Structure 1
Amino acid sequence: MSSVTIQDSTKFYISEKPIHLEIPISQFIASLEKTAKSVSDLSTFNANVSSLCSFISNEMHAFISVDVLTVMLLTYFPNFAGLSQALNTHLDSLFRYLIRLDKQSQMHLQEFTSYLILLVKQIINHTIDQNLKASQVFILLTCTELFQNIQKLPLELVIQAVNNCHCRSEFIESPQSLPSFYSLLCQTSAPFLPKYSHKEFTLVLDLDETLGHYSRSNFLVRPGVKEFLKETCKYFELVLFTASSREYADWAMQIADPDGLVMLRLYREHTINCEIKDLEKLGRDIEKVVIIDNFPKAFEKQPHNGISIKAWTGDIYDKELFKLIKPLCESVQGSCKGLKDIVNIINSKC
């Protein structure tokens, strides 16, 4: 297996704004200390961290995510004594920062985070070429993917991915059948989408003939996809929902969405009869879900939630996605109270 590396350019930044907690600081610190003592048990550690998520500022999510991923590595590769010591040092620096919130503790937390990331990187690179079980390869590759995306993902999604990875690892029999990183962020049964602090409205996107078109072993990207995703992600939780296979969809999205703006992805196994997309199964307020699809039958169970877009097969002058950006974003910023307002605005302007 080839070597896998974590980006060297990853930097962690803490704002100088004070962190406001909704519980007494003494209770919060006690909860953190309890969490630190559970590092030998991945499930308990993640459960304790999850209970603190709503009290932790978004800027701290990446720092604590580092600890969650490190505990996961230690669970499956317990012989790395240096990693365990580095983890405890990092947790201690995290506690000190949250208690003091001063320049010195901030600097120490950033330094210890960089050191811990470097150590994890060295361990992954050292271990990945060894004769490992398929489940161990799965753990290492998942950790690598999560570290690469650690500053994009809310802490709740990191925990979700780690828990799913932990549960599924024992069923992995071959490195050729590994679940994708993206499939770990969602559930295989309803409700499909994870619980986390997401945007109020959810925008569901089809893949083939909506975002792009497969032709002669290539995936062609529809004009405007980059601009469309960049703007709509500011106001919507973006979800890919495709009737295609997971392997194909992830490959196509590497081309269509290289920045990984659409982190949540649902595949063929989430559809009904490989074509119907039941939005009720997402686990979101159905009054605040919109789907864009070139195949109206896909959203026939919730026709009032759907925007039918012209199928795209390669026209380089196509403007359909460009035409949707402004009305979609303006509808959410305006006075609309639900999806009917959004769809009506889109239909009236496009």
Structure 2
Amino acid sequence: MIETSFIPVDRTKGTASFRLRTLKRSPKNQSPLFPSQPHSLLPPPNMAAHRRITLVLDVDETLVHSSFTPQPDIQYDKELMVTYNYKLYTIYVRYRPYLHEFLRFVSERFETVIFTASLCAYCDPLIDAIDENGILGNLRLFREHCTLRSNSYIKDLFLLGRDLGRIAIIDNSPTAYLFQQRNAIPIKSWFGDPNDQ
């Protein structure tokens, strides 16, 4: 379930107000790696998207749960055949409950960007399968667009070429939005619970 608050309760420190005070004292969101505006990972926004907030969506454990090994008692929404390093893999995919309703909702209201730390060879056909009608558009970024630091893939929103004040990211991994924590809408990791809402 997507958390409705931009400022999650920090149970180790007490309240959401503590987190708000901490965020206000922290420096502004910016990339620690690039002192000036680099070449954007995204094309310039079209006129329709120009006024919209940019919503960045993670994929694995946010929108779907995937596995190389099927479980006998589980029904999968999709089986993907993916070639990587000249080998063919079957990937079994389950969609998070209400996935298509959510994607339809956000596609009507936001400039939607898929940004995953997964490989393009897997995630590009997966998004094609999820978004058969193309409502999300074609703004997709993959592992090769992430910034690698200390063996972690970080999604540097500064590199999107959009106003950081008008970007939000929904991701289950705090490491993914490490550089721009103020832009994050944290979400619980989803591993296949059919009762998730």
Which of the five TM-score ranges fits, normalised by the shorter chain?
Answer: 0.5 to 0.7
State the Cα deviation string for residues 171-200 of structure 1 (Å, max 9, x = none): xxxxxxxxxxxxxxxxxx831111122142
8 Å CA contact retained: 1:271, 1:277: yes
Q: 1:233 aligns with which of 107, 121, 133?
A: 107
Q: Are the counterparts in 2 of residues 223 and 316 from structure 1 also a CA contact under 8 Å? A: yes
1:65-107 C-alpha deviation (Å, 9 max, x unpaired)? xxxxxxxxxxxxxxxxxxxxxxxxxxxxxxxxxxxxxxxxxxx
* Distance in 1 of aligned mates of 2:170 and 2:183: 9
Query: Larger % of strand: which?
Result: 2
Contact 1:212 1:256 in 2 (8 A): no
> 1:241·1:265 contact (CA, 8 Å) conserved in 2?
yes
Alignment-mate amino acid for residue 318 of structure 1: D
Stretches of structure 1 that go unaligned for 5 or more consecutive residues are 1-188, 320-350
In the alignment, residue 299 of structure 1 is paired with which amino acid?
Y
- Please list the CA deviations of residues 312-344 of structure 1 after superposition, one character each: whole Å capped at 9, or x if unmatched: 11111111xxxxxxxxxxxxxxxxxxxxxxxxx
Question: What is the CA deviation profile of residues 100-132 of structure 1, one whole-angstrom value per residue up to 9, with x for unaligned ones?
Answer: xxxxxxxxxxxxxxxxxxxxxxxxxxxxxxxxx
Q: Return closer, same or farther for 1:190/1:210 CA change in 2, 3 Å cut-off.
A: farther
**Which residue pairs with 2:57 in the alignment?**
205
Give the length in aligned residue pairs: 131
Q: 1:194 aligns with which of 43, 54, 62?
A: 43
Q: Quote the offset at 1:247 in angstroms.
A: 1.2
The question of 1:307 aligning with 2:185 is answered: yes
Structure whose alpha-carbon radius of gyration is higher: 1
Match of 1:301, SS? Answer: helix
Which residue in 1 is equivalent to 2:97?
223
- The letter of the residue matching 2:167 is V
Q: Which runs of 5+ in 2 are unaligned?
A: 1-37, 70-90
What amino acid sits opposite 1:282 in the alignment? L
Whichever structure has more helix as a proportion of its residues is: 1
- The answer (yes or no) to whether the contact 1:221–1:255 under 8 Å persists in 2 is no
- What TM-score comes out, normalization by structure 2 length? 0.63
The structure whose RCO (Cα within 8 Å, separation 6+) is larger is: 2
Query: How far apart are 1:258 and its partner, in Å?
Result: 1.9
| TM-score normalised by length of structure 1 | 0.36
Task: State how far apart, in whole Å, the 2-side matches of 1:219 and 1:251 are.
Answer: 12
For the aligned residue pairs, the C-alpha RMSD in angstroms reads 1.4
CA-to-partner distance for each residue in 1:222-259, whole Å, 9 max, x for gaps? 11110011111111000000011111011221232222
Q: Deviating runs (4+, > 6 A) in structure 1?
A: none
Task: Identify the match of residue 144 of structure 2 among 266, 269, 294.
Answer: 269
Q: What is the one-letter code of the residue matched to 2:119?
A: S
- Deviations along 1:280-338, one digit per CA (max 9) or x if unpaired, are 1100010000000000111010101001100011111111xxxxxxxxxxxxxxxxxxx
Bigger mean CA offset, 219-228 vs 203-212: 219-228
CA distance in 2, matches of 1:283, 1:259: 26
